[in-house]
Amino acid sequence: MRATLIHAARDIRVEDVPDPAVQRPTDALVRVTAACVCGSDLWPYRGVTDTSEPHRIGHEFVGVVEDVGADVSTLSVGDFVIAPFALSDGTCAHCRNGVQTSCVHSAWWGGEDEEGLPIDGGQGEAVRVPMADGTLVAVPGLGDGPDDALLAGLLTLSDVMGTGHHAAAAAGVGNGSTVVVVGDGAVGQCAVIAARRLGADRIIAMSRHADRQALARDFGATDIVEARGADGVAAVQELLGGLGADAALECVGTKESMEQAIDATRPGGRVGYVGVPAGGSELPIRRLFSNNVSVGGGVAPVRGYIPELLEDVLSGAIDPGRVFDLVLPLEEAPEAYAAMDERRSIKTMLRP
């Protein structure tokens, strides 16, 4: 089959790889309907993290179950499934606590399972899914499969919608909250959706790009702030009557974005962060301490959020699929990376 590999910074290739198959009784084989490129895929693409040898890439996909191992009990051949960006067994204490990303058997797409078998990346034609019962969520009632709009929405449940929701949940967003969202990428956009869904009154999106500002407004942002740093914080406070926000959702991962989030939070407020922390971003404890600003979040356990978010995607209550502004065939994966790297696309879908 065909699948995407990263060879080095800015060197993405679609190549022939071995066809996957069920190898263990707990495996499923999934034919990929759609995959996509994640902001975190851009870290190795840009050379921020090292790529020592060519490897499979991609961790967001949806598709149709083509085969299941003998011990798989929640999935059947023909099911349309959502794959979260991390694998989990669904039974350990951490999974039961809703922190599936800390599963004692956690594994990652494009990596290896516990016994050293390779796990396919998501940006390919098919994927062997270990721990299929724990990892995958079947979408009921789709018949011949979702239409394009619904497909896009379902694909966001693989990562960005659940990740944006995690930021909002970790920051305690609820009815009447004032919220500032740092980051206008796909995760930031989904954080706006999540904040609105959880009842926020005021949602300030920090963005400098007209198209992203417009999308954020469509998703529920009540205000836009273009300024950054101290000026951006001052603009947020001016909108909120001199106070910081109840909740700041940090969806970037740089030292600057985290400081902006912390400074834009009112005393006693909470920062929810889901941006993978880049270098030099230890948290300034004295500033947090003196203002009683708490910080929560991390690598989002999206597996646990899929059921509740799926309901709202299926009903049309939320439409996160709109973050996809470019759809390319799998063979054009290199262009998908370039488009996201150059900010020509917020989020790019790949269709095998």
Task: Check: CB of residue 318 under 8 Å from CB of residue 339.
Answer: no
Per-residue binding string, a copy of itself, 193-232, x by CB under 8 A, is ----------------------------------------
Distance CA(266)–CA(240), nearest Å, equals 10
Residue from 176, 108, 159 nearest 274 by CA: 159
Work out which of 22, 36, 99, 181 binds a copy of itself, going by CB under 8 A: 99
- Cα separation, 277 vs 265, in Å, equals 19
The b-or-e profile of 228-252 (16+ CB within 10 A means b, else e) is eeeebbebbbebbeeebbbbbbbbb
Candidates 296, 332, 338, 351; binder of a copy of itself (CB under 8 A) is 296
Give me the 126-165 binding string for a copy of itself, x by CB under 8 A, dash otherwise: ----------------------------------------
Binding piece for a copy of itself, criterion CB under 8 A, among 39-47, 63-71, 219-227, 280-288: 280-288
- Candidate list 18, 175, 285, 315; residue touching a copy of itself; CB under 8 A: 285
Indicate which single residue of 111, 118, 145, 284 sits in contact with a copy of itself (rule: CB under 8 A): 284
Question: Where do we find the tokens 């290739």?
Answer: 13
Which segment (7-15, 109-117, 149-157, 294-302) binds a copy of itself by CB under 8 A?
294-302
Nearer to a copy of itself, 9 or 276 (CB): 276
Q: Does residue 241 bind a copy of itself (CB under 8 A)?
A: yes
Task: Say if strands 80-83 and 137-139 run parallel, antiparallel, or are unpaired.
Answer: antiparallel
Instruction: Report d(CA 66, CA 352) in Å as an integer.
Output: 15
State how far the Cα of 7 lies from the Cα of 50, in Å rounded to an integer: 10
What is the total count of residues that contact a copy of itself (CB under 8 A)?
A: 38
Kindly state whether residue 176 participates in binding a copy of itself, applying the rule CB under 8 A.
no
Lookup result for tokens 């921020």: 48
Please select the residue that binds a copy of itself; options are 222, 256, 281, 312, rule is CB under 8 A. Answer: 281
Handedness of CA 136, 123, 7, 37 (dihedral sign): negative
The residue from 268, 307, 316, 329 that contacts a copy of itself (CB under 8 A) is 268
**Closest separation in Å from C-beta 147 to a copy of itself:** 35
Question: Should residue 23 be labelled a site residue for a copy of itself when binding is judged by CB under 8 A?
Answer: no
Query: Does 234 engage in binding with a copy of itself (CB under 8 A)?
Result: no
SS3 47: coil
Contacts of residue 115, defined as CB under 8 A and 6 or more positions apart, other chains included, come to none
Task: Supply the minimum distance, in Å, between the C-beta of residue 74 and a copy of itself.
Answer: 23
Q: Does 98 bind a copy of itself (CB under 8 A)?
A: yes
As a whole number of angstroms, the distance between CA 212 and CA 209 comes to: 5
Separation between Cα atoms, residue 91 and residue 79, nearest integer Å: 22
d(C-alpha 226, C-alpha 163), whole Å:
23
Query: What is the C-alpha separation between 188 and 144, in angstroms, rounded?
Result: 32
Query: Stretches 98-106, 180-188, 201-209, 230-238: which one binds a copy of itself (CB under 8 A)?
Result: 98-106
Residues of the shown chain interacting with a copy of itself in the complex, contacts defined by CB under 8 A: 93-94, 97-99, 101-102, 170, 241-243, 258, 266-268, 270, 273, 276-277, 281-286, 288-299, 301
